[in-house]
């Protein structure tokens, strides 16, 4: 499959990022968001430890 088939213009990526970033930051600044982030970090550490 050619990469050209899925080529997304950088301007579209930038536009999407500008729209999503504030919402992501808002979510992770909540207690629930912080708790989920901490759980994710713990899972990632556990996975990393099992690979070693």
Q: 19 near 12, Cβ under 8 Å?
A: no
Q: What is the pLDDT of residue 5?
A: 80
pLDDT at 6 over 80: yes
Instruction: Count Cα atoms within 13 angstroms, Cβ side, for 22.
Output: 3
Q: What is the pLDDT of residue 2?
A: 58
Helix or strand or coil: residue 2?
Answer: coil
Q: Can you tell me the mean pLDDT for 18-32?
A: 96
pTM of the model: 0.61
pLDDT at 10 over 80: yes
Distance of alpha carbon 46 from alpha carbon 38, whole angstroms: 12
DSSP per position, 5-16: GG---HHHHHHH
Q: 13 near 21, Cβ under 8 Å?
A: no
């Amino acid at each position: 499959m050619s990469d050209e088939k899925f080529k997304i213009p950088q301007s579209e990526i930038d536009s999407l990022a500008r729209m999503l970033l504030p919402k992501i930051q808002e979510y992770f600044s909540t207690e629930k968001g912080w708790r989920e982030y901490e759980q994710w970090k713990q899972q990632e550490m556990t996975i990393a430890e099992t690979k070693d």
